[in-house]
Every structure is written in structure tokens, then in C-alpha cells.
Chain A
Amino acid sequence: MARFGPAAVAAALGLVVWAALASRLPEALLPGPAAVAQAAWARGPELLGAALMTGGCALLGLVISLLLGVLVAVGFLRWRALELALYPWALLIQTLPVVAVAPLLVVWLGYGRPVSVAATVLVCFFPLLTALHVGLRAATPAQVELFSLLGAGFWTTLLRLRAPAALPQVFAGLRTAAGLCVVGAVVGEFVGSNGVPPSLGSMVLRAARSADTATSFAAIGAASGLAVLFFGLVRWLEDRAIGVWAGRS
């Protein structure tokens, strides 16, 4: 309770300030918390379906990014020349503005979920690759020497030493990506979703176009909730996987 107390107080204060501001402005400009809650309640089933759609795309994009990251990071570790040739270009992916690339994704992939998943991969891949790249080198030189002395080859050392030693870094990367994946999915939906089936991105756009700001806020809140949920899921997994030996329990 002591851990969550300050955050709960800050949230309550934020709600009060928000309500006070909203009471002085037109609802179309800034709806109050009650209006947003009402809109969320009224559109509950649609909002839930949209959150499932966006969450599914975000999660799929996150998993694809992680798998790709593992593949590339292991390749970099195995072949130094590959790392020298491709790592600078991996950085380029991070510099790409996903909002600007998303319309191209529609051209290449058509409307629908693939755009949302691809946009998620674009924003999540680099943080995960960086975490894996650093993590796979986190074992100490003496630990690597020990494995070498014991006759372990590249793959044994990777699986029995480097992979477990990388987990703290990988989970740090996953925590960052857990928030980013929802951003990527929603941006993908802004340009790649025609609203059928509904997604959080398409709901935000449609509601904003009809000046239904309360529904937009509800959809944005649901997107934030998804990101918090994913972050919490990663923390839960992290505590169970490495919490004890990494000194976090």
C-alpha cells in the first residue's frame, strides 16, 4: 500500500485539477472525467473490442520485434563483420518517423492489421535490439573464460551463460518496448485502419472528427491502460524470471 499510495494521491490530485479545468471550458474542447467515464460506459463493448484489436496488434508486434532482435543480436555476436556492416543501419530504423512511414506501409501491406503490426515492429525493434546487443555481452570476461576452459562452444556459451546473463538488460528493453508497442499500433491504425473492426486508433480519429472529444479521451485512456498493462506484465515476468538473483525481490 505504501508503494502505491503516493501514485494514488497524485492521480486523485490530477483528476481534481482536470475536473476544475474542464468545468471552465466547453466539453468539445476538454471533457471532464465524468463525461469521459460516461462515454466509456456508453461505448463499453465497442471500446473493449477496439482495445482487444489494438492490444493484439501491439502484442504481436512486440513478440515479432523480440524474435527479430534475438536473431539479429545473436548474428552480431557470432559474426563481427555482420555487426560492423549492419548495426549502424539498425540505428537508422530508430530515426525513421513512424508517422511518416505509416502511409507507405499501407501502400505495401494494404489496410488492416498488418500495418498496425508493422508500425509496432518499427518502433519496438531498435530498443530491443540494443538491449539484446548489450545484454549478450554482459557476462564477465572471466565467466566467458570459464566456459571456454570447460570446453563450451559458441552455442553452449550462448544458451548457458550469455542468454541468462542478458536477461536483466532484455527486461529493461522490454519495459521500454511495452509502452512503445501501443504507440506503434495506434499510429498504424491512424492510417491503416478503416474502422472495421474498430480499433483504438480508428475510434480516436472518428470521434475527433465528429467533435466527440469524450470518446476520443476514453479511447486514449484505454490505449494508456493497455501500455500500463503490458508494462505490468513485463515487470511480473521479470520479477519471476530474475527478481531473486538480480536482487530485486
Chain B
Amino acid sequence: MIALHGVTFGFTGVTPLVTDFSFAAAPGEVLALVGPSGCGKSTLLRLAAGLLAPQAGRVERGLGATAMVFQAPNLLPWRTVAENVALPLELGGHADPAAVAQAVAEVGLEAVADRLPHALSGGMAMRVSLARALVTAPSLLLLDEPFAALDALTRTRVRELFQARWRARGSTVLLVTHDVDEAVLLADRVLVLGGRPLSVVTERRVELPRPRSRHGASLGALAAELEAALG
């Protein structure tokens, strides 16, 4: 689980991004934070990750590992695919080649496990990034617009992979996106954010059956409703 309780945060000299802001995601829930670019969604994610410290309030994380997938794949160019995936385990002091091989296989990259990142396509690099986040079986997974830089076809495939495999693992997922369709496709609950300081404009539980299709009529209607709230 993850919960922010009355969090205030701002960068020096500008209006605070968030003031007395609270939200929580239950264990195993996929919570999407949707808002326009630059509204402070990624800052909320960094507060949740502990990369930024709130100036007031507190952040509560459940037990277990936290993993994050960034907007860019963020791979280390001198390490192979398998070595990049193994990084969290190595830094944690418990190398596990079997877990690495399984994570690489889950994203369908066994054939390129020994390649360096420069030899990968953008979609493949992002899949490596997802595998690296999941190799530790994190209890909290933070996704910072991980599909935004992918081409349409790759984006669809990676989203399907997310729905089919990783949602079943039971991690609590916090997904930051500016794409309402993506939020409705993947999340159990959507918070639409806006304003400065940031506030929740509207909140909707997505009670559509899985696996979901981007082209489903119910999904489209809910997405349109949230899009309208987003303005």
C-alpha cells in the first residue's frame, strides 16, 4: 500500500505544488493519477517513492520493495539487458540469476539478454526497464508515464503485457499518466488532478471487466467523462 497524509511540498521560490494533500492506494490496487503535463504528478510519485521529502505531512509505505519505472528506460549503457535487469538484486546484495532469467523471459527478451542497450529498440528498452522494476517482486510499483515515449503499436503490446502478467502479481501500482484512455485501461481507480496547489478534480473507480480493450464502448464513455473533468 501507499498513502500520503496531508503532504505539503514545493520548490523554493514558487507556489507550493501540493498543500495538505492526501491519497491512498490499497494493497494490490492499481491507482492512476491523471493530470495535464507539468501539474505535479511526477513530483507526487517522487514523494511516494521517498526520492523527495515532504515539507509537511507524511508518506506511508507498506512493507516490501519499492520499484519505479521512469519516463525514459533509464538503462545503464555499459550493462547488457540481463545485467540491467539484475541491478536491483545486485545492489540489494542477493544476486539471483534464475529470477533475472525469468524476468527477462517475461518481457520476451531472452534472445537479446546479452545485448547492450544501444542495440535495442525503444520498445525493447522499455520492456527491460519494466523487467528491472519487477525482478524484485516489489510490493509497490511506481510508473511515471512509462508508455508515453513508445510508438502506438509497442505501447499497445506493453500495456497488454502489463495487464496479462504483472497485474496478477498483486503489487500496489501507482501509475502517473496524462493519457485518460491509458488510465481507464489499466487502473482500478483514477484520480484526475489539477490546479495549483494540486487537488483532486474528480475520482472514479473503474469497474470494467479485464482484460480491457481500448476500443470497448464502456471504457470509451468513462474516458470521455474523465477527459471532460480534466478540461
**A interface residue numbers (CB < 8 A to B):** 140, 142-143, 145-152, 156, 160-161, 164-165, 167, 242, 244-247
Q: Which of A148, A150, A151, A156 has the most CB of B within 10 A?
A: A150
**Additional 8 contacts, C-beta under 8 A, given A149-B49, A150-B91:** A140-B74, A145-B51, A149-B67, A151-B91, A156-B91, A245-B77, A245-B116, A245-B117
Task: Report if B50 contacts A (CB, 8 A).
Answer: yes
Which residues from 61 to 93 on chain B have a C-beta closer than 8 Å to any C-beta of chain A? 66-68, 70-72, 74, 76-78, 87-88, 91-92
The one of B51, B74, B78, B87 that contacts A245, using a Cβ cutoff of 8 Å: B78
Indicate whether B169 reaches chain A with its CB closer than 8 angstroms: no
Which B165-200 residues sit within 8 Å CB-CB of chain A?
none
In the bound complex, how far is the Cα of B49 from the Cα of A164, in angstroms? 26
> 22 A-B Cβ contacts within 8 A?
A140-B72, A142-B71, A142-B72, A143-B76, A145-B46, A145-B68, A145-B70, A146-B68, A146-B70, A146-B74, A149-B49, A149-B51, A149-B66, A149-B67, A149-B68, A150-B91, A152-B91, A165-B76, A244-B116, A245-B77, A245-B78, A246-B77
Question: CA separation between A147 and B67, bound complex, in Å?
Answer: 11
Q: Please, how many angstroms separate the alpha-carbon atoms of A131 and B117 in the complex?
A: 25
CB distance from A240 to the nearest CB of B (A): 13
Within 8 Å of chain A (Cβ to Cβ): is B159?
no
CA distance A167 to B76 in the complex (A): 13
Nearest A residue to B72, CB-CB? A142
Q: Given B50, B70, B78, which contacts A142 in the complex, CB threshold below 8 Å? A: B70
Q: Which residue of A lies closest to B75 (CB)?
A: A143
A142 in contact with B88 (CB, 8 Å): no
The distance in angstroms between the C-alpha atoms of A161 and B117, with both chains bound, is 15
Q: How far, in angstroms, from A245 to B88 measured CA to CA in the complex?
A: 21
- Total interface residues on B, CB under 8 Å, equals 21
From B50, B72, B76, B117, give the contact of A149 (CB < 8 A).
Answer: B50
* A211 to B201 CA separation, bound complex (whole angstroms): 89
Are B92 and A143 interface neighbours, CB within 8 A? no
A6 to B49, CA, bound (A): 56
Cα–Cα distance between A242 and B92 once the two chains are bound (Å): 26
A186 to chain B, nearest CB (A): 36
Hey, which bits of chain B sit against chain A, CB under 8 A?
Answer: 46, 49-51, 66-68, 70-72, 74, 76-78, 87-88, 91-92, 116-118
A160 to B93, CA, bound (A): 13
Total inter-chain residue pairs, C-beta < 8 Å: 48
Which of B70, B72, B118 neighbours the largest number of chain A CB atoms within 10 Å of its CB?
B70
What's the Cα separation between A145 and B67 when bound, in Å?
11
The CA-CA distance from A160 to B46 in the complex, in Å, is: 22
Determine how close the nearest CB of chain B comes to the CB of A144; give it in whole angstroms. 10
Contacts of A244 in B (CB 8 A): 116, 118
Instruction: Indicate if the CB atoms of B88 and A150 lie closer than 8 Å.
Output: yes
Contact check, A151 vs B70: say whether CB atoms are below 8 A apart: no
Query: Contacts A140-B74, A145-B51, A149-B51: A247 and B118 contacting too (C-beta < 8 A)?
Result: yes
Let me know if B92 and A151 touch, CB within 8 A: yes
Chain A neighbourhood of B88, CB < 8 A: 150
Q: How far is the CA of A146 from the CA of B76 in the complex (A)?
A: 11
Residues of B within 8 A of A245 (CB): 77-78, 116-118
Q: Please name all residues of chain A whose beta carbon is closer than 8 Å to the beta carbon of B116 when the two chains form the complex.
A: 244-245
Within the complex, the shortest CB–CB distance from A246 to chain B, in Å, comes to 7
Q: Which residues of A contact B66 (CB under 8 A)?
A: 149
Q: A152 CA to B51 CA in the complex, in Å?
A: 12
**Those 7 A-B pairs whose CB atoms lie nearest each other, nearest first:** A245-B77, A150-B91, A245-B78, A142-B74, A142-B70, A164-B78, A245-B116
Contact B87 A150 (CB under 8 A): yes
Q: How far is the CA of A164 from the CA of B74 in the complex (A)?
A: 15
Give chain B residues whose Cβ lies under 8 Å from the Cβ of A160: 91
Is the pair A161, B76 in contact by a Cβ cutoff of 8 Å? yes
Chain A residue nearest in CB terms to B70 = A142
CA distance in complex: A148, B92 (Å):
12
Cα(A167)–Cα(B77), bound, Å:
12
Shortest distance in angstroms between B38's beta carbon and chain A's nearest beta carbon? 17
- In angstroms, how far is the closest chain A Cβ from the Cβ of B117? 8
Also in contact, A242 and B74, with CB within 8 A (given A145-B51, A150-B87, A151-B91) = no
Name the A residues within 8 Å of B74 (CB-CB). Answer: 140, 142-143, 146
Complex Cα gap A213–B138 (Å): 74
